[in-house]
């Protein structure tokens, strides 16, 4: 009899079932791996998107913050606005603390907090409880080490522990407990000027390295702003001091010049009176001057009096230069256009006067026209010619010739009523002027110093004043020179002034 209940399935059916089961498990594992990979990709994408958004936010924040640190000369106001922006977008409270001039104390230049009561306490912290800059506090360490401090999780560590605050103030400042903070030194160069502090409280995302990089970038801009602002303040102070010094210097020169003028005029006047009396006695054949002085030497006395007159004239010229210089400095130096001047006649007159006194040099004058007339301030123009001709004599050897040339230059401008010009050249045969000295020649107080001219006296104001006189005539004054070959000073003048100057 057959037992149907004990029939066994074929072995190949079990094998196929096992194969299908294993395939199913592999498929399930593959789908699980794909799901995990997708989840990881989604997480990476989410993090990348968050990082991109954060970078964009940080860039925008830095751009907005930079607006407060660009071109600011009053840094205090800008810092207050800046920390307010930091609190709105980056931290729960923030401050900029600067070292004093002695570098032994900090003062809180600007502070902001989301909690107004907290902000008041923070503002007065250093006033009542100075920080020990030699202690272990992160602020002190950042200043000493010139390095930023990032604390990601402060836990229960009190940020103000080293300030030695009383319990009430300490609790107010430390509550709620800080989650993390940044202390960034303000370092525009090699010397720390203070710190920029950023604090986030519990419940906020802790600071990380990206935040630190952002804070350091902002702190570097703040440090430069403060440095530039302080430099500007010092420059303004120096300028004010210089202006004050210039004022008193000009006042002193003006008073001195006026006070010297009258005594000099008296000395010269009395000297000339004595000189004329001597001359009269000599003409009358008197052998004595005074009480029975038979050894009186007229020639010697004439020479002495001539020297006195000459020195009085020199002093008077120096006083006049000081007065002119003072007027120029105070913008009170003006020309008086009243006269039509024959330039050729004026130069001849000056040379005749020079020839009466100067016996060591020759003079030569040439002109391409016999009629060169223009509207000028005659006395000022005479002052320029006298100065340049006298310089040509002083700086050239005896026996040489000083040449003066006048050339009429018709104006080629298409403008209506444009004036003709005259070019005056005053040439000497002296030692010449070095190239490096030519650039400074018309500066106030400048004098060319060489072994050959070390005995030549003067204030160094003559050419400076001449330049101003020519400038106010709307002309130009310049020099061409070569060492050991002499110098030529050129004056270019319009023959009539602009309408606004008449």
pLDDT band at 201 (very low <50, low <70, confident <90, very high): confident
Higher pLDDT, 35 or 399: 399
In the chain, % helix, strand, coil (3-state, to 5) comes to 50, 15, 30
pLDDT at residue 258 in the model: 59
Count of alpha carbons within 13 Å of 357, Cβ hemisphere only?
Answer: 13
What mean pLDDT do residues 397-405 have?
94
pLDDT at residue 162 in the model: 43
Q: Tell me the whole-structure pTM to 2 decimals.
A: 0.48
493 pLDDT more than 70: yes
d(CA 334, CA 327): 9
Which residues contact residue 335 at a Cβ distance below 8 angstroms, ignoring those fewer than 6 apart?
A: 377, 380, 469, 472, 473, 501
Q: Which helix (H) or strand (E) holds 93?
A: strand 93-99
Least confident of 21-25, 164-168, 249-253: 164-168
pLDDT at residue 37 in the model: 75
386 pLDDT more than 80: yes
The answer to whether 69 touches 196, Cβ cutoff 8 Å, is: no
d(CA 112, CA 278): 91
432 Rama class: left (phi>0) / alpha (psi -120 to 50) / beta: left
Identify the bridge partners of residue 180 per DSSP, sorted by sequence position. 200
d(CA 402, CA 410): 26
Burial annotation 341-367 (CB, 10 A radius, 16+ → b, else e): bbbbebbeebbeebeeebeebebeeeb
Q: Are strands 373-376 and 178-186 parallel, antiparallel or unpaired?
A: unpaired
d(CA 423, CA 112): 70
Higher pLDDT, 476 or 123: 476
d(CA 144, CA 140): 6
pLDDT band at 62 (very low <50, low <70, confident <90, very high): confident
d(CA 196, CA 100): 15
pLDDT at residue 190 in the model: 86
CATH code of the region 243-284+297-330: 1.10.287.130
d(CA 222, CA 75): 9
For residue range 432-477, what is the model confidence (pLDDT) as tens digits? 988 888 888 888 878 776 656 555 556 678 898 899 999 989 999 9
pLDDT at residue 189 in the model: 84
pLDDT at residue 477 in the model: 95
The C-alpha angle with vertex 144 and arms to 143 and 147, in degrees rounded to 5, equals 65
Q: Is 175 helix (H, G, I), strand (E, B) or coil?
A: coil
The answer to whether 259 touches 315, Cβ cutoff 8 Å, is: no
pLDDT at residue 137 in the model: 86
Q: Is 181 helix (H, G, I), strand (E, B) or coil?
A: strand
Quote the distance between the C-alpha of residue 292 and its chain's center: 72
Which residues contact residue 409 at a Cβ distance below 8 angstroms, ignoring those fewer than 6 apart?
A: 420, 421, 422, 423, 492
The answer to whether 445 touches 460, Cβ cutoff 8 Å, is: yes
Q: What CATH superfamily is the domain 71-229?
A: GAF domain (3.30.450.40)
What mean pLDDT do residues 354-383 have?
90
Determine how many CB atoms are found less than 10 A away from the CB of residue 122.
Answer: 22
Least confident of 181-185, 287-291, 322-326, 338-342: 287-291
Q: Provide the mean pLDDT of the chain.
A: 79
Determine how many CB atoms are found less than 10 A away from the CB of residue 291.
Answer: 5
Determine how many CB atoms are found less than 10 A away from the CB of residue 382.
Answer: 17
The answer to whether 335 touches 473, Cβ cutoff 8 Å, is: yes
For residue range 349-367, what is the model confidence (pLDDT) as tens digits? 999 988 888 889 999 999 9
pLDDT at residue 239 in the model: 81
pLDDT at residue 156 in the model: 44
Where do the structural domains in the chain lie, given as residue ranges? Answer: 20-60, 71-229, 243-284+297-330, 339-494
What mean pLDDT do residues 338-354 have?
90
d(CA 226, CA 502): 51
Higher pLDDT, 263 or 245: 245
For residue range 139-160, what is the model confidence (pLDDT) as tens digits? 999 999 999 999 887 754 445 5
pLDDT at residue 168 in the model: 40
What mean pLDDT do residues 473-484 have?
92
The answer to whether 143 touches 99, Cβ cutoff 8 Å, is: yes
Identify the bridge partners of residue 479 per DSSP, sorted by sequence position. 489
Least confident of 168-172, 204-208, 435-439: 168-172
Q: Is 174 helix (H, G, I), strand (E, B) or coil?
A: helix
Determine how many CB atoms are found less than 10 A away from the CB of residue 303.
Answer: 11
Which residues contact residue 468 at a Cβ distance below 8 angstroms, ignoring those fewer than 6 apart?
A: 328, 333
pLDDT at residue 437 in the model: 86
Least confident of 128-132, 304-308, 493-497: 304-308
d(CA 327, CA 321): 10
310 pLDDT more than 90: no
Instruction: Using alpha carbons, select from 364, 433, 366 the residue that is nearest to residue 401.
Output: 364
pLDDT at residue 293 in the model: 53
pLDDT at residue 166 in the model: 41
pLDDT band at 167 (very low <50, low <70, confident <90, very high): very low
Q: What is the 3-state secondary structure (H, E, C) of 387-426?
A: HHHHHHHHCCCCCCEEEEEEEEECCCCCCCCCCCEEEEEE
339-494 architecture in CATH?
Answer: 2-Layer Sandwich (3.30)
266 pLDDT more than 70: no
Least confident of 52-61, 388-397, 439-448, 475-484: 52-61
Cα distances (Å, whole numbers) of residue 396 to 285, 435, 477: 41, 18, 20
The answer to whether 186 touches 146, Cβ cutoff 8 Å, is: no
The answer to whether 484 touches 425, Cβ cutoff 8 Å, is: no
d(CA 478, CA 493): 12
pLDDT at residue 265 in the model: 67
pLDDT at residue 444 in the model: 81
Q: Are strands 106-113 and 373-376 parallel, antiparallel or unpaired?
A: unpaired
What mean pLDDT do residues 291-301 have?
60
DSSP state of 496: S
């Amino acid at each position: 009899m057959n037992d149907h209940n004990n029939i066994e399935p074929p072995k190949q059916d079990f094998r196929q079932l096992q194969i299908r089961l294993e395939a199913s498990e592999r498929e399930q594992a593959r789908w699980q791996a794909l799901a995990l990979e997708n989840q990881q990709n989604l997480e990476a994408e989410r993090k990348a998107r968050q990082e991109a958004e954060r970078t964009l936010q940080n860039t925008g924040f830095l751009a907005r913050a930079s607006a407060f640190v660009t071109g600011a000369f009053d840094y205090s106001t800008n810092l207050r606005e800046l920390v307010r922006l930091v609190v709105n977008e980056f931290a729960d409270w923030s401050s900029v603390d600067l070292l004093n001039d002695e570098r032994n104390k900090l003062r809180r230049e600007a502070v902001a907090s989301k909690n107004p009561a907290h902000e008041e306490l923070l503002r007065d912290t250093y006033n009542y409880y100075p920080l020990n800059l030699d202690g272990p506090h992160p602020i002190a360490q950042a200043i000493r080490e010139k390095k930023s401090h990032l604390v990601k999780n402060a836990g229960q560590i009190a940020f103000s522990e080293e300030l030695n605050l009383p319990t009430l103030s300490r609790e107010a400042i430390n509550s709620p407990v800080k989650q993390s903070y940044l202390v960034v030194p303000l370092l525009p160069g090699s010397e720390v000027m203070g710190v920029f502090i950023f604090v986030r409280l519990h419940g906020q995302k802790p600071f990380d390295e990206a935040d630190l990089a952002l804070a350091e970038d902002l702190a570097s801009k703040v440090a430069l702003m403060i440095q530039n602002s302080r430099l500007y303040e010092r420059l303004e102070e120096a300028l004010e001091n210089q202006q004050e010094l210039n004022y008193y210097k000009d006042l002193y020169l003006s008073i001195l010049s006026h006070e010297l003028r009258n005594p000099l005029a008296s000395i010269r006047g009395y000297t000339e009176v004595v000189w004329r009396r001597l001359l009269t006695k000599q003409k009358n054949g008197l052998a004595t001057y005074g009480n029975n002085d038979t050894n009186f030497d007229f020639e010697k006395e004439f020479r002495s009096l001539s020297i006195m007159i000459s020195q009085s004239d020199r002093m008077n010229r120096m006083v006049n230069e000081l007065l002119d210089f003072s007027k120029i400095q105070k913008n009170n130096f003006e020309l008086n256009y009243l006269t039509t001047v024959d330039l050729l006649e004026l130069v001849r007159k000056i040379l005749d006067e020079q020839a009466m006194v100067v016996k060591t040099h020759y003079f030569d004058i040439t002109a391409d026209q016999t009629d060169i007339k223009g509207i000028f301030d005659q006395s000022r123009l005479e002052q320029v010619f006298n100065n340049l001709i006298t310089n040509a004599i002083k700086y050239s050897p005896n026996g040489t010739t000083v040449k003066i040339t006048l050339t009429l230059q018709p104006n080629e401008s298409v403008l209506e009523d444009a004036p003709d010009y005259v070019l005056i050249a005053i040439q000497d045969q002296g030692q010449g002027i070095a190239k490096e000295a030519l650039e400074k020649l018309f500066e106030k107080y400048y004098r060319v110093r060489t072994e050959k001219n070390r005995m030549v006296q003067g204030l160094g104001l003559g050419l400076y004043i001449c330049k101003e006189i020519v400038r106010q005539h709307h002309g130009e004054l310049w020099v061409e020179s070569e060492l050991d070959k002499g110098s030529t000073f050129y004056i270019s003048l319009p023959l009539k002034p602009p309408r606004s100057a008449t």
